[in-house]
Amino acid sequence: MLADKTLFDALSEIGIPVNRVAAKYANTDVIPGQYFVYAITGGSPSYSDDYLEYIELYYTVMLFSKTDYTSVLRQTVDVLNVDGVRISSLGAEMYDPDIDFYQIPINVAIQEFWEED
C-alpha cells in the first residue's frame, strides 16, 4: 500500500524505531526509550461516476516514550505535513505505570488513489 509506505517513510525520518501494528519490543528486555507503532483503524472510499477514485485510510500512530516527548511530537507533526496526509487529531496523553511509558495517539488520514487497469 502506498499510504502505508508514505506513513512509514515519514515517521522514519525522525530517527526512532517505527513498527506496523504490534510492537516487537513487547516481550524483550531491550526496549528503546521512544518508538512508534501504527495501524489502520478504518477507511472511507470516494467515488466519482461509480468509479472508485481513492480510499481515505485512517491510521492511529502511537508514540511511546519514557521521557519528555514534546520535541518528537513536534517533529512528527512536521514530517506528516505532506501531500495527501492529514492529521485529524492528537489524542489524550496516557501513562502506563506497568511499562513506564507515556503513550500519545496521533490520528492520521491518508488518501490512497486507485487507477483503472
pLDDT per position as a tens digit, 31-88 = 678 999 999 999 999 898 888 888 999 999 999 999 999 999 999 999 998 877 899 9
Determine the CATH number of domain 2-113.
3.30.2000.30
Where is pLDDT greater, at 22 or 32?
32
Provide the whole-model pTM.
0.84
| Torsions phi, psi for 27 (to 5 deg) | -120, 35
What number of CA atoms fall less than 13 Å from residue 12's CA on the CB side? Answer: 8
pLDDT tens digits, one per residue of 86-105: 999 999 999 999 888 999 99
Number of H helices, E strands in the chain: 2, 6
Residue with cell 470516494: 46
Going by C-alpha positions, the residue among 36, 43, 45, 33 that lies closest to residue 88 is 43
Is 27's pLDDT higher than 70?
A: no
What pLDDT score was predicted for residue 112?
86
What pLDDT score was predicted for residue 117?
54
Share of the chain above pLDDT 70, in %: 87
